[in-house]
Chain A
Amino acid sequence: MTVADDIVIRRILVALDTSRRGAAAVRAAAELAAAVQAELLGLFVEDINLLRLADLPFAREMGLHSAASRPLDFAAVEQALRAQAAQVERLLARAAERQRLRWSFQVTRGQVVAEVLAVARDVDLVVVGKAGRSIGARLGGAGHREAARGEAVPARRPLVLVFDGSEPAARALRLAARLAREAGKALVAMIAAPKNADYQRLREQVEAVADPARQRVRCHQVKAAIGDVCRGARGVRAELVVLGAPGDSRSAQELVDSLLEAMDCPLVLVR
């Protein structure tokens, strides 16, 4: 099935953890997969850093809410990670079954982003639904819920596209434009262009695909690449951020790392 003429999506990887963003990512990925009839691949990465830490003799852990310090041991961490993996698998199974998707799930151990990108080599689309290293993103959940209580229209949350004119970004543009159109959502294009002339050119490219006459499209110029994208995405309360995956794995790792750090919505990487 094709999303646009030249994009064929057969497999979608969804990288997960047990955070709220994980659940949102599963939902987004499952909907996407259902729309394009793709196979859903779930991935849970056991963080090697944690396991190593737990192996150190002096390793201690400070409770998130209790603020109490307690010893950290390898077996306990391993068990906790396994439990998280099982929980994530259940989440994925439920979403996939609801949408009647083919799905699989695997657990790997290693550096998180590297592992995700490694597995991502064999898929067409990556949905990342993991909490980054940011502590605030974890602690912030409850407060946000409070403010959003009674909120009537999640449909108003837009899709955000990060666009820099590259080949993967063009694919991301086509995917995002179509998704926004079908879901009746606004598309916010964050155009990474330090120069105004470039911005105009890229903007025309965006509007050629996502016609402002047919759907709601807003473009923003982003000068300093990543940080601004993140702030912009949070400012418009993006439901999903769609971007092209950079070709080389190093810059991809940095990009994903920093986006995960700063954002609180699932990330869709188009390859």
Chain B
Amino acid sequence: MKKLEPLAPEALYRRCDPGQFSFTTTAELADHMEIIGQDRAVQAVRFGVGIKREGYNLFALGPTGLGKHTFIRRFLESQAAAEPLPADWCYVNDFGEPHRPKALRLPAGGGARFREDMAQLVEELRVAIPAAFDSDEYRLRAERLDADFNERQEKALKELGEEASRHDIALLHTPTGFSFAPMKKGEVLGSEEYGKLPKEQQDKMVQLVAALEAKLEKILRKIPRWRKERREKHKALNREVGMAAVAHLIDEVKEAYAGEPEVLAYLDGVNQDVVDNVDDFRKSQERPAALFGPPQEETDSLRRYRVNLLVDHGNSKGAPVVFEDNPTYQNLVGRVEHMSQLGTLVTDFTLIKPGALHRANGGYLLIDVYKLLSQPFAWEGLKRALNSRKISIESLGQAYSLISTVSLEPEPIPLDLKVILFGDRLYYYLLHHYDPEFQELFKVAADFEEQVDRSAGNDLLYARLIGTLARQEGLLPLDREAVARVIEQTARSVGDAEKVSTHMESLTDLLREADHWAREAGRGAVDRHAVERAIAQQIRRADRVRDRMHEAILRGTVLIDTEGARVGQVNGLSVLELGNFAFAQPTRITATTRLGDGNVVDIEREVNLGGAIHSKGVLILSAFFAARYAKNRPLSLSGSLVFEQTYGGVEGDSASLAELCALLSSLSAVPLKQSLAITGSVNQQGEVQAIGGVNEKIEGFYDICRARGLNGGQGVLIPGSNIKHLMLRADVVEAVRQGKFQVYPVRTVDEAIELLTGAAAGEPDAAGHYPAGSINQRVSARIASLSEMKQKYAGLARARNKGKEPKSR
């Protein structure tokens, strides 16, 4: 039996050599603004931003904290600065359809100017129009119209009156009209005198009055028509005077916007509307204070000439880069606000507010996909805008009939922008799977790596990155040792000695905390000690549960042996991850075997505490037994496997090697050393395969052994393929160096069982027989005997059944 050597301490931790750095502290290093090791993502971003085609929006995927946002934002800002300024957008009143405000496009900066020009125009109109109507010209012409009207009706009535007076009849006012009265000497004839008149004269008088009344009626019936004519003439006059006052003022504004046909069309509309409503400008400027509601700035009627400047690029440089932190539906597509007036909600185009799409139009919009998806209707709203390439402001309340009040349908604004979503890979794949529109709209995925290779070149880049972050955060510079320690720690955090983490958030946290401890210790730079302390404190803050669990083992509540040897019992290792802190503890795994029909019973599985991968690992064990020990006969073995004292689920196949060793021990009746713990998965050939969390597992067992006192024989068996992942704690490495603890890399189950039992596993000879006394020979013999036993029982059963047969017929 060849003795398997434990790993040398150097293999347990890959140091970063501070000697490779020529700087004293990171303060000497130039900034490194580029993201490290993200070539794939960087290329994708460059491609996605560069391609100007519909649907080529970006999805930056990867865990939060990688620096995706910072990188893309910085990249876009440098890119956008060279891109043309997008247009300004204004909403103005549509005089034909006031509920559908018009969108006006103006060159950057033109919006604010246009708003000023319109305000100025209204101010000027408010002076010019009353002045025009106050002029003598207007006054005389208006009076002339009245005089004409009065003259016309007076003349008609006067003629009638004269005709009547020729017959001694007067036209008189009554309180409500006119009447004809017979006169005598300037006074109305009394009824007595009338009575004295002869009958013919009376009749003649009545006839005369009747004839005059008929004429009067004709005149009176004409008066409304004359009045109407006069009203129309007044209107025409008002229009003419208004037109003269307005036209040259509006023409001045039009000159300034000669190149903007839409603005010119709007100004024509303004011209027409002002002329139609000159009275609004003639109203007294003094108004009584409003009793209710806010004080009114100007008469409501003049609000309609305002310009609602929605997007103003007057002070912008290049294309906009907008990050919408709260991507609600309304914050994205904009909204129409309402104001309360005497208890009712009213609105107009001046209350249209822009959304992020408006602000980012012509540039780039950055949104966190999780926030976007957690806001009702926001995702749908964004897709609708991208699909239609228009921003339509629609109120959700209205769309779902939640409120019923006056609202607007603003004219949609053309949309041309690139949207960059950020988020976990999960969201990308879920959206890709479930939303058919997603792949049409987000054709470019920028997939960010969590880790990058450790190499001398990358170490220096990393050092510069650390220096840059320290400068940006206002931290003390780091010395060489500290940088090396930080790099080692990031390798540990990804659980790989050959990689470093690209997780900027946790890196920055570590730097900030190391800075804190360095300052507390009164250092001028962050040294290795400060970094160590920061790491230790991070663990200390998070390890309450680990302490409790280890305590349960040390106090004997959870049974774990670290000495002696037992048949069918082995120390497995399981990892727990709570928050962002992972730790491991040993778990006792036991196996029992008996005569059966070839199955290994996974008790965890039977009670639904085992996951699918764990079950797969156990089923592989059955196959391993059958393939190795019962090639030519039925496997008549039944085994049971238990994770003792676990009260939650078990998942993963990293315990299958341990389980196999426990079964072999049970079958061979050779005890296993309890001073060793074992992790690794195994395949049907008995080869050991890599597992995750190897560092935590080793440290978990070490912590228990150290607490009980290291006896020199303790250690952990790990898959050989996990050696490259080792970044063990300094105290573990030191214990190994002193020979108090060992880490054994194993490649096959035979190597593992030899270490655990101290007995040879045994190689089969040409005939397939194992050497006597070896573990494999014992197992093989036991399985053969179980098989024979089964055959014997089967023969007995057949004989019994034969005897019974005639009776049963």
Q: Name A's B-contacting residues (CB within 8 A).
A: 48-50, 52-67, 69, 72, 77, 80-81, 83-84, 111, 131, 133-140, 142-144, 146-153, 237
> Is the beta-carbon distance between A147 and B178 smaller than 8 angstroms?
no
Q: Which residues of B contact A77 (CB under 8 A)?
A: 174-175
Q: Which residues of A contact B284 (CB under 8 A)?
A: 150, 152
Q: Name B's A-contacting residues (CB within 8 A).
A: 130, 133-134, 142-143, 145-146, 149-151, 153-154, 157, 170-182, 187-191, 194, 205-206, 209, 213, 216-217, 220-221, 223-224, 227, 230-231, 234, 279, 282-284
Chain A nearest CB from B208 CB (Å) reads 10
Q: Which residues of B contact A153 (CB under 8 A)?
A: 134
Q: Which residues of B contact A146 (CB under 8 A)?
A: 231, 234
Q: A150 touches which one: B133, B145, B181 (CB < 8 A)?
A: B133
Q: Which residues of A contact B130 (CB under 8 A)?
A: 150, 152
> Is the beta-carbon distance between A58 and B206 smaller than 8 angstroms?
yes
Q: Which residues of A contact B149 (CB under 8 A)?
A: 140, 143
Complex Cα–Cα for A152 and B286 (A) = 11
Q: Which residues of B contact A62 (CB under 8 A)?
A: 177-179, 213, 216-217, 220
Q: Which residues of A contact B190 (CB under 8 A)?
A: 52, 55
A-B contact pairs, 24 of them (CB 8 A): A49-B188, A50-B174, A50-B175, A50-B179, A57-B194, A60-B209, A61-B177, A63-B177, A80-B175, A83-B175, A133-B172, A135-B153, A135-B154, A136-B150, A136-B154, A136-B157, A142-B227, A143-B149, A143-B227, A147-B146, A148-B142, A150-B284, A152-B284, A153-B134
Complex Cα–Cα for A142 and B227 (A) = 9
Chain B nearest CB from A144 CB (Å) reads 5
Question: In chain B, what residue has the closest Cβ to A63?
Answer: B177
Complex Cα–Cα for A83 and B176 (A) = 12
Q: Which residues of B contact A65 (CB under 8 A)?
A: 224
Q: A140 touches which one: B150, B177, B205, B213 (CB < 8 A)?
A: B150
Q: A147 touches which one: B143, B205, B209, B224 (CB < 8 A)?
A: B143
Q: Given A52-B188, A143-B230, A147-B146, answer yes or no on A58-B205 (Cβ-Cβ < 8 Å).
A: yes
Q: Which residues of A contact B143 (CB under 8 A)?
A: 147, 237
Q: Given A49-B187, A152-B284, answer yes or no on A135-B213 (Cβ-Cβ < 8 Å).
A: no
Most chain A beta-carbon neighbours within 10 Å: one of B170, B173, B189? B173
Most chain B beta-carbon neighbours within 10 Å: one of A53, A65, A139, A153? A53
Complex Cα–Cα for A217 and B221 (A) = 44
Q: A53 touches which one: B172, B176, B221, B283 (CB < 8 A)?
A: B172
Complex Cα–Cα for A135 and B191 (A) = 26
Return the 8 tightest CB-CB contacts between A and B, nearest first: A150-B282, A67-B220, A136-B154, A80-B175, A147-B142, A52-B188, A53-B181, A55-B191
A-B pairs with beta carbons under 8 A, tally: 139
> Is the beta-carbon distance between A72 and B146 smaller than 8 angstroms?
no
Question: In chain A, what residue has the closest Cβ to B205?
Answer: A58
Question: In chain B, what residue has the closest Cβ to A237?
Answer: B143
Question: In chain B, what residue has the closest Cβ to A111?
Answer: B187
Complex Cα–Cα for A77 and B172 (A) = 13
> Is the beta-carbon distance between B181 and A49 smaller than 8 angstroms?
yes
Complex Cα–Cα for A21 and B549 (A) = 104
> Is the beta-carbon distance between A81 and B189 smaller than 8 angstroms?
no
> Is the beta-carbon distance between A58 and B188 smaller than 8 angstroms?
no
Complex Cα–Cα for A27 and B284 (A) = 22
Question: In chain A, what residue has the closest Cβ to B174?
Answer: A61
> Is the beta-carbon distance between B181 and A149 smaller than 8 angstroms?
no
Chain B nearest CB from A131 CB (Å) reads 8
Q: B191 touches which one: A52, A64, A72, A131 (CB < 8 A)?
A: A52
Chain B nearest CB from A155 CB (Å) reads 13
Q: B173 touches which one: A58, A59, A138 (CB < 8 A)?
A: A138
Q: Which residues of B contact A55 (CB under 8 A)?
A: 190-191
Question: In chain B, what residue has the closest Cβ to A235?
Answer: B143
4 additional contacts, CB 8 Å, given A56-B188, A61-B174?
A49-B170, A62-B217, A69-B213, A150-B130
Q: Given A55-B191, A62-B213, answer yes or no on A147-B179 (Cβ-Cβ < 8 Å).
A: no
Q: Which residues of A contact B170 (CB under 8 A)?
A: 49
Q: B176 touches which one: A60, A63, A151 (CB < 8 A)?
A: A63
Chain B nearest CB from A201 CB (Å) reads 31
> Is the beta-carbon distance between B181 and A56 smaller than 8 angstroms?
yes
Q: Which residues of A contact B227 (CB under 8 A)?
A: 142-143
Complex Cα–Cα for A109 and B282 (A) = 45
> Is the beta-carbon distance between B173 and A135 smaller than 8 angstroms?
yes
Chain A nearest CB from B226 CB (Å) reads 9
Q: A67 touches which one: B134, B174, B221, B234 (CB < 8 A)?
A: B221
Q: B175 touches which one: A52, A84, A147 (CB < 8 A)?
A: A84
> Is the beta-carbon distance between B217 and A69 smaller than 8 angstroms?
yes
Chain B nearest CB from A58 CB (Å) reads 5
Chain A nearest CB from B188 CB (Å) reads 4
> Is the beta-carbon distance between A64 and B181 smaller than 8 angstroms?
no
Q: Which residues of B contact A57 (CB under 8 A)?
A: 191, 194
> Is the beta-carbon distance between A56 and B176 smaller than 8 angstroms?
no
Q: Given A52-B191, A61-B178, answer yes or no on A149-B279 (Cβ-Cβ < 8 Å).
A: yes
Q: Which residues of A contact B173 (CB under 8 A)?
A: 50, 131, 133, 135, 138
Chain B nearest CB from A47 CB (Å) reads 8
Q: Which residues of B contact A49 (CB under 8 A)?
A: 170, 172, 181, 187-188
Q: Which residues of A contact B145 (CB under 8 A)?
A: 143, 147
Q: Which residues of A contact B179 (CB under 8 A)?
A: 50, 53, 59-62, 72
Q: Given A53-B181, A63-B177, answer yes or no on A140-B206 (Cβ-Cβ < 8 Å).
A: no
